[in-house]
Amino acid sequence: MKVNQAEIVISAAGKKQYPKEFIPEIALAGRSNVGKSSFINKMIQRKNLARTSSKPGKTQTLNFYKINESFHFVDVPGYGYAKVSKKERAKWGRMMEEYFAEREQLQATALVIDVRHQPTEDDCVMYDYLKHFELPVMVIATKLDKIKKGQRDKQLKLVADTLEMDDGDQLIPFSSETGEGKDAAWKKMLEYLNSNR
């Protein structure tokens, strides 16, 4: 997939600010600091359209990126960061529910997981949450370049088993450094984007 155009449209704090345009969307979910911004930037071949933050839990808005005038990547706030207050966590929960339960344009979600570690309880809760809304989920096992080739299969199996992934959901090994997995991720995303148009 060649990306000729990519721009941030809006950072929305609630549904009143969501883009009105009826084009398909792929949501990107993951723990704070797992590498969602790096994933977006690698997918669209831009250095810093999506800003990487040194302060986990900083993104408290849904960031809509318009790609090739035809669909949106929607970067949702990261989860699982301990220093976020209960009040902020409750606000995050309402924001997620509003988007995942009601957004008609949403076609699928990419759940970004750090392949070096066993998925956390928060990762499992997020996966189950997305399946509760009957959303297709592709799991992006990122930071692949940080593990030895001999460990890959073991780590990927650990991710799939811990999440108890549905047979229809795809696990894609990915590296923002080398670009490995980018073509596979685009192929799956395009399937989702073209399925319900």
Neighbours of 47 (CB within 10 A): 7
> Which range has the worst mean pLDDT, 29-33, 36-40, 59-63, 79-83?
79-83
Instruction: Give the residue-averaged pLDDT of 17-44.
Output: 91
User: Which pLDDT value is given to residue 197?
Assistant: 42
With a threshold of 0.85, does the pTM exceed it?
yes
Scan for tokens 């949702």, then name that residue: 76
Q: Is the predicted pLDDT of residue 48 greater than 70, yes or no?
A: no
Work out the percent of the chain whose per-residue pLDDT is above 70: 90
> Which range has the worst mean pLDDT, 15-29, 34-48, 129-143?
34-48
Instruction: Give the residue-averaged pLDDT of 91-105.
Output: 90
Work out the percent of the chain whose per-residue pLDDT is above 90: 66
Q: Is the predicted pLDDT of residue 39 greater than 70, yes or no?
A: yes
Contact 50, 63 (CB under 8 A): yes
User: Which pLDDT value is given to residue 49?
Assistant: 64
Instruction: Give the residue-averaged pLDDT of 109-135.
Output: 95
Question: What's the Rg (C-alpha) of the chain?
Answer: 16
- The pLDDT tens digits for 150-197 are 999 999 999 999 999 999 899 999 999 999 999 999 999 999 998 864
Q: At 9, is the pLDDT very low, low, confident or very high (cuts 50, 70, 90)?
A: very high
